[in-house]
Amino acid sequence: MPLTIEDRVNVCFLYAQCGYNHQRAKQMFMRRYPDRPVPSRTVIRKTVERFRTTGSVANTKRKRRRPSTNEDKVVDVLANVAVNPHISTRQLAEDHGVSRSSVGRILHRNNFHPYKMSILHELKPTDFANRVEFCAWALVQAQGDPAWTSDILFSDEALFYLNGTVNKQNYRYWADVNPHWMVGSKKMNAPRVMVWCGIWHNTIIGPYFFEDTVTGAAYLQMLETFLSDWLDELPLTKLLRLWFQQDGAPAHFALAVKAWLNRTFRNNWIGRGGPVAWPPRSPDITPLDFYFWGFIKSLVYITPPETLDVLKARITAAAHAIHPATLQKVREEWLSRLQHVIDVDGCHIENLR
């Protein structure tokens, strides 16, 4: 009996929750859904691959086309790509009456590869030195105390739109050399929710949902209620070692916010105007930006959420699905990125990794 769409969504969630292990995902599926047909490891693997490739867990209808051996077809396909490097292989197949596999062979035999876009903030002249200075400072801290990265509470906010968001998996630039294609992000006029989350040690803090625009007052309320409640439960030994990190968003720079951070963390916080300055326009070295939000959105938008309540529930479930071992790897990746920024003199590194 084939899996339903709901079963397939659950398979993807369990696969991520089990640390990307097909066998453990199968076993957890059996325990949680004893009345459902048990998917094999092959079915789990194909379901996950289909989602990663197409952004959907639904089956795709295939059209049989004859293989292309005509040299004119090769020339036509390459000419089309030269004019429109963002074109999909599906569109190329339809335009030239050949199969997608033939299109793939033509492109790869001619050394064309599908490069993903990067969404980056433009760096200002003073940013390069600031980024290098911060990265060098952080690496010195980590070298002096290998457990230091576990003491940092990384935090960030992100917007989730009800109608989805830009999916880099659906955007490609076909070329024989990497064009380092970058685009600016765009806001969409759709119902949305702003979410705050933190990463500390092997734990996800949150999510916390803002009811409206994140102003200084709204952000301070989150700190004084939600975060304070979490801090109150923290053992004193861990609290004394805790560092708090935030970026330079306007709400983070409010005087009342900085006063609260100074009272609560003293010199152990990183941010705009803080004891340790966070380098502006640096999402490529923020764990929530370079890993967390992308992972959460990949699960949340497997199928379109119908309401904001459903969207919030999915965000919460996805955050709790992250395995502690994954967060350890994220901290290791953070240190690697700090060194990489130094190696490239403060330039962005997303298009180089």
pLDDT per position as a tens digit, 294-350: 999 988 988 889 899 999 999 999 999 899 999 999 999 999 999 999 998 998 887
Handedness of CA 209, 218, 151, 237 (dihedral sign): negative
CB distance 290 to 119 below 8 Å: no
Most confident by average pLDDT, 39-48, 90-99, 172-181, 234-243? 234-243
pLDDT per position as a tens digit, 130-161: 999 999 999 999 999 999 999 999 999 999 99
Average pLDDT over residues 259-282: 95
The SS3 assignment for 63 reads coil
Of all residues in the chain, what percent are helix, strand and coil, respectively (each to 5)? 50, 15, 35
pTM: 0.63
